[in-house]
Structure 1
């Protein structure tokens, strides 16, 4: 990133233990507005636990997580999402029997303000909000190049396409930060290249900050502004990709894991 930007997400001295075993041990980092920031590390390093702490799935024993200057640690997941943080999951979390359009519309729930009676009768504000929601998700579907699949049940589509739909659903929330948990896992070479290009486009053209966890090192090092490396729950490196990849402790962690 060529210019200095304000911090959007600040993680400070975060620690999480399960039955006395530390999954995260005093981890700190920050992500700037519009930054593409990656977290890597060997299996069991604490990457998914970190994601779950930030998104409100886990409650860490200590530390701080601030988003746009506001403490969000301890908030329920749906309130964190409403603040402007969206996420995808390592295993695809879609509703297979529902169409692509209906899956995307689920992401607009937090933006709805109409009451139960208005929704039941589909009058006034309810009708306007639903029309606006459909327009928004169709716009996102076009950006993600899945608009032609709008009326197809998600479960009938390939794994790589389902991953794109999950990213589109997160993007339809109009977040300031998207957390991507292994977005190219299980994809072939062509699918990986397409998803990588899409992630870069979302970050560049929409200015959405991205927190990425991924095992594909070529992808991570090719698109990240900065990289944080975890090992056994601790941060062992933080910096630009070219710096991190030469770090002796990082090399040792990966060789040891291998």
Structure 2
């Protein structure tokens, strides 16, 4: 059963570039443990919304509350430390590093030892490294990439690199994961597998997920609620069946016909 408590609370968000409105008074909330999706045609404002929440853009109006704290004005790394992690439409991994090394990068916030102690593996640094590796392996197993830990990420197929990126995000142990088109560029089998993985992550870890995706079949199959944007405005908000039947969504996103 989903929590009724709001984790992310976006209110009246408005963002303009040279007089052109990318977001216009957008409001919605994401509850603890919820799988919440944002849909809309190209140019609807989805990426702008993500960038406002993550601190890349500073909106002209509105607020972004997270676990009772205001995020606007914070740098992206400060927001990440609050418990928000994201993936990108274009895979953001380190191709010349192994899968394990990519995952270990996400564990640095859990390491307390200094640089010298870590290099020499003195004192508690050795224990911290063992724990970091153990946790990295746990997330690799969840994403079914544990057999690839010693492989260079750049040598892996696109769909597998997407899974590495998601595992790296999970290794940060966030409260909210923001997924930007997680099945973009995947074939049917890869897309189906990633869809089930996202569902599993949400169900087993209880982490809230904010998803932007063009694959309507995926969105409607796994989302608890959906927010539809068009020209920077919210045009619908509700359960998948409610949103897919909304006349404004049918016109703006589905071209006027189901």
TM range (shorter): over 0.9
Give the 3-state SS of the residue equivalent to 2:28 in structure 1.
strand
* 5+ residue gaps, structure 2: none
Map Cα deviations across residues 87-127 of structure 1 (whole Å, 9 max, x no partner).
Answer: 00000000111000001111112222212232232211222
Q: Aligned residue for 2:150?
A: 151
CA distance in 2: counterparts of 1:76 and 1:129, whole angstroms:
27
RMSD of equivalent CA atoms? 1.3
For the residues of structure 2 that align with 1:212 and 1:4, how far apart are their CA atoms?
18
CA distance in 1: counterparts of 2:41 and 2:111, whole angstroms = 41
CA offsets per residue over residues 116-163 of structure 1, 9 Å max, x none? 232232211222211111110001001110000000000000000000
Secondary structure, aligned partner of 1:245:
helix
Mapping 1:28-43, distance limit 5 Å: 28-43=27-42
The alpha-carbon distance between structure 1 residues 154 and 257, as it changes in their structure 2 partners (threshold 3 A), is farther
Matched with 2:208 is: 209
CA displacement, residues 178-232 of structure 1 (integer Å, 9 cap, x when unaligned): 0000000000110011000000000011101000000000000011000000001
Structure 1 residue 3 displacement after superposition: 5.0
Instruction: Provide the residue aligned with 2:191 in structure 1.
Output: 192
**1:86 to 2:85 alignment:** yes
Task: Give the distance between the partners of 1:210 and 1:166, measured in 2 at CA.
Answer: 15
Of 14-23 and 205-214, the range deviating more from structure 2: 14-23
- C-alpha displacement at 1:257, in angstroms? 9.2
CA contact (8 A) 1:42 1:257 kept: no
Superposition deviation, residue 9 in structure 1 = 0.5
Distance 1:117 1:30 in 2: 44
Give the distance between the partners of 1:253 and 1:39, measured in 2 at CA. Answer: 14
Three-state SS of the structure 1 residue aligned to 2:253 is helix
TM-score, L = length of structure 1: 0.97
Q: How many residues align?
A: 257
4+ long deviations beyond 6 Å = none
The CA deviation at 1:78 is: 1.0
Q: Residues of 1 paired with 2:27 and 2:114: CA distance? A: 41
Instruction: Give me the whole-angstrom Cα distance separating, in 2, the residues matched to 1:127 and 1:234.
Output: 51
Q: Deviations over 1:34-55 (max 9, x none)?
A: 0000000000000011011111
**Equivalences for residues 6-155 of structure 1 within 5 A:** 6-155=5-154
The match for 2:219 is 220
Structure 1: gaps (5+ residues): none
Shift of 1:256: 4.8
The question of whether the paired residues in 1 share the 8 Å contact of 2:104 and 2:132 is answered with yes
Q: CA deviation at 1:20?
A: 1.3
Given that 2:2 and 2:32 are in contact with CA atoms closer than 8 Å, whether structure 1 keeps it comes out as no
